[in-house]
């Protein structure tokens, strides 16, 4: 990673299969980004936290002011997001 941002927050729902796949891809990428700290926020339990972060769609990755969200987040998209931080 290029910047000092080492924390990524994954906004997800345990009921969302797309979120599960994004979480798995992020966990696999952790090996390539050893300084990365992954925080998970379950949006059904913490909806105000997601709203405050500007999360409108899950799965969503947030690092500082950068966000990545979409219907399906691929491992390639997540890697590109982490590389640009």
Q: What is the pLDDT of residues 18-70, one digit of tens each?
A: 999 999 999 999 999 999 999 999 999 999 999 999 999 999 999 999 999 99
In a domain, 10, yes or no: no
pLDDT at 2 over 90: no
Task: Look at the alpha carbons of 14, 59, 41, 33 in this order and tell me if their dihedral is positive or negative.
Answer: positive
In a domain, 14, yes or no: no
What predicted TM-score, i.e. pTM, was given to this entire model?
A: 0.91
In a domain, 4, yes or no: no
In a domain, 5, yes or no: no
In a domain, 16, yes or no: no
Strand order across the beta sheet in which 66-69 lies? 37-42, 7-12, 60-63, 66-69
Report the C-alpha gap between 78 and 85 in whole angstroms.
11
Report the C-alpha gap between 29 and 52 in whole angstroms.
27
Give the residue numbers spanning the domain of 31: 21-66+73-83
The domain tally of the chain equals 1
In a domain, 30, yes or no: yes
Q: At what angle do helices 17-29 and 75-83 cross, to 10 degrees?
A: 50
In a domain, 29, yes or no: yes
In a domain, 2, yes or no: no
């Amino acid at each position: 990673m290029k910047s000092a941002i080492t924390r990524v927050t994954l906004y997800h729902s345990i009921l969302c299969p797309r979120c599960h796949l994004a979480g798995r891809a992020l966990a696999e990428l952790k090996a390539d980004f050893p300084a990365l700290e992954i925080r998970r926020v379950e949006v059904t339990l913490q909806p105000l936290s997601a709203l405050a972060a500007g999360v409108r769609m899950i799965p969503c990755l947030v690092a500082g002011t950068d966000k990545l969200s979409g219907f399906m987040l691929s491992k390639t998209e997540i890697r590109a997001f982490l590389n640009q931080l």
